[in-house]
Structure 1
Amino acid sequence: MREVGQRLLRLLGAAAALTLLVGAPTAAVAQEQRAATPVTVPALTNWAPGQVSYTISSGTRLVASGAAERRVADTLADDLRAAGHGVVPVVAGASRPGDIVIDVRPSARPTLGTEGYELGSGRRLSITGATETGAFYGTRTLLQLLAQGDRIPAGHTTDVPRYRERGVGVCACYVHVSLPWLENLVREMAYHKLNQLLLELKVKSDDHPEANTWGYYTKDEIRHLVALGDRYHVEIIPEINSPGHMDPWIENRPDLQLTDSDGARQPARLDVTQQAAFAYYTSLMDEYAQVFTSKSWHMGADEYMLGSDYAKYPQMLTYAQDKYGPNATPQDAYVDFVNRVQAYAASKGRHLRIWNDGLTGANTVPVAAGTTVEHWLNVAVKPSRLIAQGYAVMNASYSLYLVRGGFHSDTEALYDQSWDPRSFEGEKLASADGVTGAKISLWPDNGSGETENEVAVELWPALRHIAQATWGDPHPVATYAEFTARGTAVGPAPGLRDLTEVPVPDGTYTFRADGVSYRAEVRRTADGYATLRGADGCLEIRGGKLTLNAPLQPGVAATWEPCDGQNTVQRWELDPTANGYHLINAITRMALTVTDGGRVVQYPPDQHTPALWHLT
């Protein structure tokens, strides 16, 4: 892990890196450690000093008697090994001094709720939860303490979260996000006790192959990611945004697109007045149920009529009045679609989530009870009104956004303001009643604006802040510098993959694959990719229809263009295989393939076998 940290340090360079990596704590953190108060993120909600400290050693065992305890202990054993503590055996039976004891006691610990835990440090290290999840979170605290040394101060804590939803949202919907990057995110989330990863993404469809343009994940990839989330107690909640933002799905289905009064079709808008559109959407929900285990379903429901006038779509008003009477409004047709999806989700045992911006108050039909509203935009219907109407509300404020190549959340300012989940866009609530929690959101609005590795630099401080603000005191130490020093002390999660490593040294190579030969200089980029500089410029993906400023169409050719250090589409990942390398574009995440005609083009790896490049 220290080697990974050093590579990341080179990537991040300046002071931002100090908030991420293991290193010497500041004076304030050192003073806290001397006072025997353990340093964690989120900060412990309480700590009672004890008499005898605990030290992990070569004789340490993980004692786990039941099935739930065994699952927690097995995961902890893997993470201890990844963190450099060697093989720690998992055993049943009586404990002895030096052991780590995992215990799940549902009836004996009612005050812990579903996610709280107790941790005691003495001759033994004990972790007790009322549930498996609670015990798991206790092991995350243990790992953070061990990241700072083998000795853990004597004492005891009872640690319970303030909010039940603590999340990160990722739109992997247009610009693909690599599976290893998402796996790293799951591990980092769990390490900081975040419990929801809300993913807007496309799963490759068996029922609707016409929708399988790039940007999708295979079902096996999702099963793998969901299994990791289940193991690390991160619920992965899928989203197919609808009835707006549906172009990834219906760009080749004009029959389902909303049509205006001039006959112009809207490829991003599903026609909610058609039963066929509802049937299409619910069939996608059924396919997702094959690979996602979450009991929640996110349908988005945002920005459906953004920049448009309902009057241009008279069929909306006709549909609403036919169903709800003469006083109905066009927006009632939109709410009707939301409610039908809610009813369908409920029939399958799933809970519906939507964004708030479509709830402008122009509807006469209320959104169905039991729907969670994620509030991101200040519109007429405020969070307090939604809560008064009985809806659960999650804080997904725009101030918590990280937009790829655009707006980045000002984490330091939020910390200094003691931001907490009661602070919505347009309203600060006096009480947390009805507020489920909060999440940060990652959006790909400028797809080529930043690479995944660059996004990570901005993400980790924001992730630690949202973890703190949703678990406990939003301002546990006096300054932001002291808070980031805590992140430095606990370091990265065990088991993270280093995604910044270039497997070949800088230099000039001949690239050969399937009859094609390039002579190019490999130069490592600051964010951990490589540029390939040839006699005619740098290798780049250029052409085709741009989506969010990125060339995301399969089959687009790789060409030599003037070198530009700021052009992220000129950056490449050299993915090593047993006999060579695959060349994967840093933005499109597609691999280069050589066609029968000798053209070098990008394709998803499950559509065309990536070319195997030999370097000499």
Structure 2
Amino acid sequence: MRTFPRRWSRLLGTAAAAMLLLTVPQPAAQAQESAPSPPPTVPALADWTPAHGSYAFGHATRIVARDRAALDAARTLAGDLRAAGHGTVPVVRAGARTGDIEIGVDPAAEATLGAEGYELRAGQRLSVTGATGTGAFYGTRTVLQFLAQGDRVPAGHTVDVPRYRERGVGVCACYVHISTRWLENLVRDMAYHKLNQLLLELKVKSDAHPEANTWGYYTKDEIRNLVALGEKYHVDIIPEINSPGHMDPWIADRPDLQLTDSDGNRQPARLDITKPEAFAYYRSLIDEYAQVFTSDSWHMGADEYMLGSDFAKYPQILAYARARYGADATPQDAFIDFVNRVHAYAAAKGKKLRIWNDGLTGANTVPVAAGTTVEHWLDVATKPSRLIAEGHPLMNAAYSLYLVRGGFHTNTKALYEQSWDPRSFEGEKLTSAAGVTGAKISLWPDNGRGETENEVAGAMVPALRHIAQATWGAAHPDPTYAEFTARGTAVGHAPGWRDPTRVPVADGTYTFRAGATVVDLEIGRTADGYVTLKSASDGTCLEVTGGKLTLNVPLEPGTPVTGSACDPRSTLQRWELDPAPGGYRLLNAITRMTVHVTGEGRLLQYPPDQQQPTTWTLTAS
């Protein structure tokens, strides 16, 4: 073989390289052109920079916590990978190697990443860095979404930072109980999509006020468990007791606290804001909720106080306002006074106050206390821009984002196609996001029997993904809504999410036995994942009937469970077969109460903490 002096070899190599540069792309440019895009995520990554190669997750993968501050995110990721079917991935503090997932917290990056952003690099290793543990956690949510679509991730880099600090879901379980399993699923899915705020209007079973414990409540242990899950997944769970209106879940049996009109009629939904004992009662509820909720926010509602009436029917309110604020005071000033007293009490407890906007009609001379966050849902005289100018943090809770149980459902497709974002309030579109904290979807129970919670969960999925996208990133990341929904299909649900539509027993006729009570029932699965229970003897279907109705739902404990003409539209004829030691409990899909069999063989519904739920053994006929 002919050889060349080293000097000529270098010259020939340089010349050849120069000729190649004229005919083919440089390797770096070639990598940029050919590197694939990352797997889709919700929210979408805004600035992915591709690189050559890919990351491969495998049996030898470890999670490396670079520092102590990253340990919580690392351990949570390990648990979620296991729940998602990726096996047991060890968490270590040793140096990272090929195939590992590396998680770190670098406070010096806060100027770039803020409190919730993260940087992710995919190559021989998958590396996540946040300026805080929260930021690192959100990076792991992207890792989970990547791996939900395969064990290989194209090489690349992103810096992913939210646009809004409040990204939420509001749920009113204020009358009709929603299962804790449903709420746990929601917390997991929220975190998976980088939502960080769950606002819950609900009733906690009270030790201080047992007279208020009408059904719909949650036990304190149930709330403690839910709050612990929220803390693990960086979802702030903010409690709400709506006041001074909509107080009937709390004061229906306290006529001494009810507002009385000029005709002498008591209003069980309205707290009498002129009475010191009424304010003391509300303070005691705040104190009791503080035993189980750890959020530094308190939501007092403050909406629809005069819904269906007006202040003129209650002259004592005007008299109260003038006594406190002078002859020019208005009845609205008494209302604002109540709000401000709650604000001061919450602040003394280290909590920031939140209210709805519709009570801020502009008819007041007393201003709302500075720092009160206003959730804007209804177009009234006081516009969003004015609330921001007055210094109130403003959250977009627009009615167009509502899912009303058995009623209005948000049109997510239309909102996406309009490039809706949190600046688009009811009645006003802002040109700047300054002062806007974020946005939330709201799930409301107006017709409690209109839909089951499984149906609500299904309808909520596209709305949840849309609000996650609109509050974290760009409002319109894909050209079409179909392409955006395909993102959601690709990432699926969060690890640990439990399918609420799974029925543990096959359709067919079974003999149900509970002590001396024996009945043959035909089980039929419903489209929303419950069952109907049809009597083999007379063809009727088991249903909760009678009792006192609340939001069209028989929520009175002790209401009979009897046979009624079968109606596939009746949600009250839908049941869960809840596995229990030795058999199954019957749980109504709407009332969320279990069936209790009396000594005489009567079937009655009760909250499970009031009467022992009956366990049924099933034998196929």
Report the TM-score when normalising by structure 1: 0.94
Equivalent-residue separation in structure 2 for 1:36 and 1:466 (angstroms): 24
Q: CA deviation digits over 1:421-474, x for unaligned, max 9?
A: 000000000100100000000000000000011001110000000000000100
Q: CA deviation digits over 1:355-400, x for unaligned, max 9?
A: 0000001111111000000000000000000001110100000000
Q: CA deviation digits over 1:104-153, x for unaligned, max 9?
A: 11124421000000000011110000000000000000100111110001
Equivalent-residue separation in structure 2 for 1:124 and 1:255 (angstroms): 66
Equivalent-residue separation in structure 2 for 1:447 and 1:610 (angstroms): 23
Equivalent-residue separation in structure 2 for 1:127 and 1:606 (angstroms): 45
Aligned CA distance change for structure 1 residues 95 and 562 (closer, same or farther; 3 Å): same
Alignment of 1:198-347 (within 5 A): 198-347=199-348
- Is 1:549 aligned to residue 552 of structure 2? yes
Equivalent-residue separation in structure 2 for 1:595 and 1:110 (angstroms): 65
- 1:540 alignment partner in structure 2: 543
Greater shift, 495-504 or 373-382, is seen at 495-504
- 2:565 alignment partner in structure 1: 562
- Conserved in 2, the CA contact under 8 Å of 1:45 and 1:160? no
Equivalent-residue separation in structure 2 for 1:33 and 1:298 (angstroms): 51
Alignment of 1:157-556 (within 5 A): 157-534=158-535, 535-536=537-538, 537-556=540-559
- 1:121 alignment partner in structure 2: 122
Equivalent-residue separation in structure 2 for 1:64 and 1:41 (angstroms): 25
Q: Give percent identity, aligned residues only.
A: 74
Equivalent-residue separation in structure 1 for 2:405 and 2:68 (angstroms): 42
- Is 1:613 aligned to residue 616 of structure 2? yes
Bigger Rg, structure 1 or 2: 2
- 2:19 alignment partner in structure 1: none
| Residue identity opposite 2:280 in structure 1 | A
Q: CA deviation digits over 1:270-310, x for unaligned, max 9?
A: 10001101110110100110111100000000000012121
- Conserved in 1, the CA contact under 8 Å of 2:543 and 2:563? yes
Offset, 1:502: 1.1
| Residue identity opposite 1:599 in structure 2 | R
| Residue identity opposite 2:113 in structure 1 | L
- 2:26 alignment partner in structure 1: none
Aligned CA distance change for structure 1 residues 33 and 255 (closer, same or farther; 3 Å): farther
| Residue identity opposite 1:91 in structure 2 | V
Q: CA deviation digits over 1:35-77, x for unaligned, max 9?
A: 3233110001211112231110000000014333111111100
Offset, 1:93: 2.1
- 2:591 alignment partner in structure 1: 588
Equivalent-residue separation in structure 2 for 1:381 and 1:267 (angstroms): 28
- 2:579 alignment partner in structure 1: 576
| Residue identity opposite 1:477 in structure 2 | D
- 1:154 alignment partner in structure 2: 155
Offset, 1:33: 11
- 2:101 alignment partner in structure 1: 100
- 2:22 alignment partner in structure 1: none
Runs of 5+ consecutive residues of structure 2 not aligned to the other structure: 1-32
- Conserved in 2, the CA contact under 8 Å of 1:514 and 1:611? no
Q: CA deviation digits over 1:309-357, x for unaligned, max 9?
A: 2111001000000000000001111111000000000000000000000
Aligned CA distance change for structure 1 residues 565 and 153 (closer, same or farther; 3 Å): same
Q: CA deviation digits over 1:486-521, x for unaligned, max 9?
A: 111111111111111111111111112132222110
Equivalent-residue separation in structure 2 for 1:96 and 1:524 (angstroms): 50
Q: CA deviation digits over 1:154-184, x for unaligned, max 9?
A: 0100000000000000001101000000000
Equivalent-residue separation in structure 1 for 2:270 and 2:386 (angstroms): 28
| Residue identity opposite 1:365 in structure 2 | V
How large is the RMSD of aligned CA atoms in angstroms?
A: 1.1
Larger RCO (CA within 8 A; separation ≥ 6) = 1
Greater shift, 49-58 or 190-199, is seen at 49-58
Equivalent-residue separation in structure 2 for 1:434 and 1:276 (angstroms): 36
Equivalent-residue separation in structure 2 for 1:54 and 1:33 (angstroms): 16
Equivalent-residue separation in structure 2 for 1:69 and 1:209 (angstroms): 44
Equivalent-residue separation in structure 2 for 1:247 and 1:67 (angstroms): 48
Report the TM-score when normalising by structure 2: 0.93
- Conserved in 1, the CA contact under 8 Å of 2:185 and 2:498? yes
Equivalent-residue separation in structure 1 for 2:310 and 2:47 (angstroms): 54
Equivalent-residue separation in structure 1 for 2:61 and 2:169 (angstroms): 35
Equivalent-residue separation in structure 2 for 1:198 and 1:115 (angstroms): 19
- 2:143 alignment partner in structure 1: 142
- Conserved in 1, the CA contact under 8 Å of 2:318 and 2:329? yes
Offset, 1:34: 7.3
Equivalent-residue separation in structure 2 for 1:132 and 1:451 (angstroms): 37
Q: CA deviation digits over 1:384-418, x for unaligned, max 9?
A: 00001110100000000000010000000000000
| Residue identity opposite 1:607 in structure 2 | Q
Equivalent-residue separation in structure 1 for 2:383 and 2:98 (angstroms): 55
| 3-state DSSP of counterpart to 1:210 | helix
Equivalent-residue separation in structure 1 for 2:77 and 2:502 (angstroms): 26
| 3-state DSSP of counterpart to 1:50 | strand
- Conserved in 2, the CA contact under 8 Å of 1:167 and 1:439? yes
| 3-state DSSP of counterpart to 2:341 | helix
- In the TM superposition, structure 1's runs of 4+ consecutive aligned residues that sit over 6 Å from their partners are none
| 3-state DSSP of counterpart to 2:409 | coil
- Conserved in 2, the CA contact under 8 Å of 1:33 and 1:39? no
- Conserved in 1, the CA contact under 8 Å of 2:100 and 2:126? yes
| Residue identity opposite 2:305 in structure 1 | Y
Equivalent-residue separation in structure 1 for 2:314 and 2:34 (angstroms): 64
